[in-house]
């Protein structure tokens, strides 16, 4: 790896072009994997992207080595991110030298008993590289693929793990900004624009959406275009328009891998879903130094998106199959001169941002608190299941000799097998109920307390900005949230803990 120069810095390029693509590269599961990924590699090698972020490129020994070797001339600097038992499936290729990398496995990655989903075993993560564009512009590029469990419907607590991952990524982005670096976060977020995880990234991480920035007429939380079919309508929207104007990347009827797939109402109403994003932000401004992370100004730094669109929508030549089950997203950023790329200190905008952040954090605290209560109930049920399995294993172990003594050898053999299965099941439930159960609750408690501390700082700052302690528009007095010391004995985390 190279290192950023501490003396003179070369001039920065005029533009930066980034691509994110989920290649659907699961060994033995993804269809036509090698055929598709080899075509993707050819496209990457012939393209003009400066940075390429890939998700679900699981087979390092075959697919990743082929892709990195084929792109070595154009994108010579690479990083494959290791995490979990089978890898994170994340990789980045760069035209610029990489001077640092980091792999941050997410604290919560699905449940160990949900073997079919596999998230817990692969260890979903945020992988990042640090590059020097010259002229003092350091950029941290984050690549991620968050868990899909929980979908988009139902109570928000169903998506607690995805929400936690968005919160952790936001903290990583904040850390980059505090170091004086620009941050770009890309990947498959498994979340539509109006979802709470996306709100966390926008409001807590202060991340801007490159697609929205280059499509200013599109509402931030749009899931259908104006004039398109509403949810539940039988009218089919235009899938080409949905890709071009709405940014649909998954479940599009134009994707061959969507055929025959059961789609929910959101995907049918919008001709797909927008799940893949390119976010960006600038470093913290000099005049916000020393303030709490929530006190931030509108700051894009020296990155200005001039184009962002969905790509890799074509079929692989010589076949009738799409490149992958997701479309890609590419964005071109203009690198602004030092005198232009500055934070804008706008009191009205930041007051509105504080309100959005307060609403988002309150929703997140409520969702995580509800899920923590659910975890306590699940923990108790698993411990009861452990007791049942142990009882069954002991009963079968005691009964086996008597069955053999009376000549029921087949039944005795069956009892031994069942006793082993009960013992294995009991061990699994003991791990899930005690070790994993406590791990999960402590992670949730950590996030809740951090969010409540941010809310306290927000409330205090808003109180200082209002005359005579007046707070909300209805004239009611400001209520300052409890401090972190009080949170250890109150709030959603403590309420859930008290139910154990």
DSSP string, 403-421: HHHTT-HHHHHHHHHHHHH
In a domain, residue 230? The reply is no
Q: Which helix (H) or strand (E) holds 126?
A: strand 125-134
The model's pLDDT over 10-21, given as tens digits with 9 standing for 90+, comes to: 788 999 999 999
Q: Known catalytic residue: 326?
A: yes
- Mark whether 376 and 332 lie in a shared domain: no
- Mark whether 323 and 382 lie in a shared domain: no
| Predicted local distance difference test score (pLDDT) of residue 358 | 94
- Grade residue 343 by pLDDT with cuts at 50, 70 and 90: low
CA–CA distances in Å: residue 398 to residues 393, 402, 404, 408: 9, 8, 11, 14
- Mark whether 299 and 160 lie in a shared domain: yes
- Mark whether 324 and 441 lie in a shared domain: no
Q: Answer yes or no: is pLDDT of 477 > 70.
A: no
Task: Say which residues have a Cβ less than 8 Å from residue 473's Cβ, sequence separation at least 6.
Answer: none
In a domain, residue 239? The reply is no
- Mark whether 306 and 367 lie in a shared domain: no
Grouping H, G, I as helix, E, B as strand and the rest as coil, residue 374 is: helix
Under 8 Å between Cβ of 287 and 299 = no
CA dist., res. 213 & res. 225, Å (int)? 16
- Mark whether 24 and 160 lie in a shared domain: yes
Grouping H, G, I as helix, E, B as strand and the rest as coil, residue 252 is: coil
Cross-sheet strand order for the sheet of 77-81: 77-81, 90-94, 51-57, 15-25, 328-335, 303-311
- 208 versus 88: the higher-pLDDT residue is 208
- Mark whether 134 and 204 lie in a shared domain: yes
The model's pLDDT over 233-257, given as tens digits with 9 standing for 90+, comes to: 556 789 999 999 999 999 999 999 9
* Count of domains forming the chain: 2
**Mean of all residue pLDDT scores within the chain:** 85
| Predicted local distance difference test score (pLDDT) of residue 303 | 95
Record the pTM: 0.86
- Mark whether 418 and 329 lie in a shared domain: no
Reference 37, options 56, 50, 52; nearest CA is 56
In a domain, residue 255? The reply is no
Mark which of 345, 375, 405 sits at the end of a domain: 345
Residue-number span of the structural domain to which 99 is assigned: 15-223+274-345
- 206 versus 412: the higher-pLDDT residue is 206
In a domain, residue 2? The reply is no
The model's pLDDT over 416-427, given as tens digits with 9 standing for 90+, comes to: 899 899 998 999
The token pair at 409 is: 């050898």
Mean pLDDT of 137-148: 96
Q: Answer yes or no: is pLDDT of 456 > 90.
A: yes
Active-site residue among 161, 182, 300, 326?
326
Per DSSP (E only), the strands in 292-371 are 303-311, 328-335
Reference 77, options 130, 36, 34; nearest CA is 130
In a domain, residue 286? The reply is yes
- Mark whether 329 and 392 lie in a shared domain: no
Q: Answer yes or no: is pLDDT of 352 > 80.
A: no
Look at the block and give the residue holding tokens 């003092």: 136
- Mark whether 305 and 357 lie in a shared domain: no
CA dist., res. 493 & res. 369, Å (int)? 6
Residue 205: give its domain's CATH number. 3.60.10.10
Q: What are phi and psi of 112, to 5 degrees?
A: -65, -25
The token pair at 330 is: 């590419």
Mark which of 345, 373, 405 sits at the end of a domain: 345
| Predicted local distance difference test score (pLDDT) of residue 475 | 46
Q: What percent of the chain lies above the pLDDT cut of 90? A: 60
Burial of 116 (0-12, 13-18, 19+ CB in 10 A): exposed
Mark which of 323, 345, 367 sits at the end of a domain: 345
Grouping H, G, I as helix, E, B as strand and the rest as coil, residue 80 is: strand
In a domain, residue 266? The reply is no
- Mark whether 285 and 407 lie in a shared domain: no
Residue 141, strand partner residues: 129, 184
CA dist., res. 83 & res. 67, Å (int)? 20
Grouping H, G, I as helix, E, B as strand and the rest as coil, residue 23 is: strand
Q: Which of 74-78, 336-340, 474-478 has the highest mean pLDDT?
A: 74-78
The model's pLDDT over 179-202, given as tens digits with 9 standing for 90+, comes to: 999 999 999 999 999 999 999 999
Residue 344's region, left for phi above 0, alpha for psi from -120 to 50, else beta, is: beta
In a domain, residue 215? The reply is yes
CA dist., res. 191 & res. 208, Å (int)? 15
Print the SS3 string covering 261-301. Answer: CCCCHHHHHHCCECCEEEEEECCCCHHHCCCCCCCCCECCC
CA dist., res. 226 & res. 246, Å (int)? 10
- Mark whether 303 and 432 lie in a shared domain: no
In a domain, residue 321? The reply is yes
């Amino acid at each position: 790896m190279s290192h950023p120069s501490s003396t003179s810095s070369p001039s920065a390029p005029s533009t930066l072009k980034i691509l994110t693509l989920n290649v659907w590269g699961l060994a033995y599961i993804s269809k036509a994997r090698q055929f598709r990924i080899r075509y993707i590699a050819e496209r990457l090698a012939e393209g003009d992207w400066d940075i390429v972020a890939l998700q679900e490129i699981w087979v390092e020994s075959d697919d990743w080595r082929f892709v990195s070797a084929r792109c070595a001339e154009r994108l010579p600097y690479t990083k494959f991110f290791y995490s979990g038992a089978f890898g994170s499936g994340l990789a980045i290729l760069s035209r610029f030298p990489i001077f640092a990398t980091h792999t941050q496995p997410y604290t919560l990655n699905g449940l160990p008993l949900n073997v079919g989903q596999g998230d817990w075993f692969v260890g979903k993560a945020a992988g990042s590289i640090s590059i020097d564009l010259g002229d003092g512009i350091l950029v941290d590029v984050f690549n991620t693929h968050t868990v899909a469990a929980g979908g988009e419907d139902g109570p928000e607590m169903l998506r607690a793990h995805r929400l936690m991952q968005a919160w952790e990524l936001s903290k990583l982005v904040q850390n980059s900004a505090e170091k004086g670096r620009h941050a770009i976060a890309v990947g498959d977020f498994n979340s539509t624009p109006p979802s709470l995880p996306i709100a966390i990234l926008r409001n807590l991480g202060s991340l801007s959406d490159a697609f929205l920035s280059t499509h200013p007429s599109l509402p931030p939380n749009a899931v259908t275009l104006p004039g398109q079919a509403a949810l539940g309508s039988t009218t089919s929207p235009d899938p080409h328009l949905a890709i071009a104007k709405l940014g649909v990347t998954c479940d599009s009827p134009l994707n061959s891998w969507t055929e025959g797939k059961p789609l929910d109402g959101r995907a049918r109403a919008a001709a797909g879903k927008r799940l893949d994003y390119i976010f960006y932000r600038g470093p913290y401004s000099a005049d916000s130094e020393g303030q709490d992370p929530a006190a931030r100004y509108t700051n894009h730094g020296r990155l200005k998106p001039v184009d962002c669109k969905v790509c890799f929508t074509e079929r692989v030549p010589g076949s009738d199959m799409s490149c992958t089950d997701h479309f890609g997203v590419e964005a071109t950023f203009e690198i602004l001169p030092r005198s232009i790329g500055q934070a804008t200190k706008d009191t009205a905008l930041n007051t509105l941002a504080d309100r959005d952040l307060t609403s988002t954090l309150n929703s997140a605290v409520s969702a995580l608190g509800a899920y923590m209560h659910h975890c306590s109930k699940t923990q108790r049920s698993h411990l009861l299941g452990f007791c049942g399995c142990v009882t069954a294993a002991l009963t079968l172990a005691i009964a086996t000799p008597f069955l053999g003594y009376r000549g029921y050898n087949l039944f005795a053999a069956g009892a031994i097998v069942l006793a082993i299965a009960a013992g294995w099941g009991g061990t699994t439930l003991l791990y899930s109920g005690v070790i994993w159960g406590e791990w999960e609750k402590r992670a949730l408690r950590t996030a809740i307390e951090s969010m409540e501390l941010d809310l306290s700082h927000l409330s205090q700052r808003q109180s200082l900005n209002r005359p005579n302690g007046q707070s909300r528009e209805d004239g009611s007095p400001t209520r300052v949230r409890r401090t972190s010391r009080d949170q250890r004995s109150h709030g959603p985390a403590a309420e859930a803990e008290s139910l154990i």
